[in-house]
Amino acid sequence: MPELPDITIYVEALRARILGLPIRDVRIRTPFVLRSVDPPIAALIGVRVTSVDRLGKRIVIATEADFHVVLHLMVAGRLKWKKASAPIGGRIDLAALDFETGTLVLTEAGTTKRASIHVVRGADALREHSRGGLEVLDVSLEEFSARLRSENHTVKRALTDPRLFSGIGNAYSDEMLHRARLSPIKLTSKFSDAEIERLFDAVRSTLREWTDRLREQTGAGFPDKVTAFRTEMAVHGRFGQPCPECDAPVQRIRYADNETNYCARCQTDGRLLADRGLSRLLKSDWPRNIDEVM
């Protein structure tokens, strides 16, 4: 799922292309993607874009008449920028917004079909799409600490909970925790003040550095390689590959549709975290320490 750095780059690219321009047409190829009926999406035709912003992991295109187009890409949704009035109809094309400068196409790979478009009117209606998470780049250490300790969860779960923190998902939380040298399953109630400060610094520096990196890679173009798996990442998506800090093989915990990647030597004092599936299968044969698998 695109997270804060990816969404920020999308927002910046859209501002450069559509800010101040009227929406010439709206084309919905797959009806399920439109999750609202009032106001009708046809009301957007002819109104000018007044702002493009990020709301958590959502993109909000605001227009005259106080309309807001809320795009939620979910896991497999992506945005493409094509020439003006470009045809849509490909297998993954869901919808298009047409401008004089080009066409914004919402796509989604796979069969789950979770990406969505909402059209709402007014600030109150827009607030219903906010999950309430803190914008970590805009808060103090004290505010971050209070929010982290407000519920007792594993730190991985806390960071990715949109009610607690805004814009952080599975990929960048792995990178943050590796940078902070903290176990992903440590309970937030067990954190010392020093550990929270270390995590706070890691969260902010990870988001800033990756936003700058993606901005540089995109340049004046439109982001077309938005992915949760990047070769420059330290641990996320790098199971079995060497940790860039200690060379120990990166480990993972699989659960549901997600996985957590971590370095046992850097983050868990060498201890291997139990995988819900494999560790139960192997039982006593499950290795307990990183040295047993090297």
97-156 pLDDT, tens per residue?
999 999 999 999 988 889 999 999 999 999 999 999 999 999 999 999 999 999 999 999
What does the DSSP 8-state code read for residue 215? H
What 3-state DSSP class applies to 286? coil
Length of the chain: 294
| Separation in Å, CA 226 to CA 79, 131, 165, 280 | 9, 23, 21, 35
Q: Which of 13-22, 168-177, 280-289 has the lowest mean pLDDT?
A: 280-289
**Model confidence at 216: pLDDT above 80:** yes
> Using CA atoms, how far apart are residues 170 and 11, in angstroms rounded to an integer?
21
136-292 CATH, one of 3.40.50.720, 3.40.50.300, 1.10.8.50, 1.10.486.10: 1.10.8.50
Ranges of each domain in the chain: 4-127, 136-292
CATH number belonging to domain 4-127: 3.20.190.10
Q: Which residue has the tokens 């936003």?
A: 211
Classify burial at 216, counting beta carbons within 10 Å of its beta carbon; exposed 0-12, middle 13-18, buried 19 or more. Answer: exposed
Fold agreement between 4-127 and 136-292: no
**Model confidence at 213: pLDDT above 50:** yes
**Model confidence at 286: pLDDT above 80:** no
Contacts of 167 (CB under 8 A, 6+ apart): 3, 4, 7, 54, 56, 57, 133, 135, 136, 207
Q: What is the pLDDT of residues 13-35, one digit of tens each?
A: 999 999 999 999 999 999 999 99
| 205 or 258: which leads in pLDDT | 205
Q: Which residue has the tokens 């607030």?
A: 127
> Using CA atoms, how far apart are residues 26 and 48, in angstroms rounded to an integer?
13
Kindly report the pTM of this predicted structure: 0.93
Number of C-alpha atoms within 13 angstroms, CB side, residue 203?
31
Report whether 58 contacts 116 (CB < 8 A): no
What does the DSSP 8-state code read for residue 272? P
Q: Which residue has the tokens 């000018």?
A: 48
Q: What is the pLDDT of residues 182-200, one digit of tens each?
A: 999 999 999 999 999 999 9
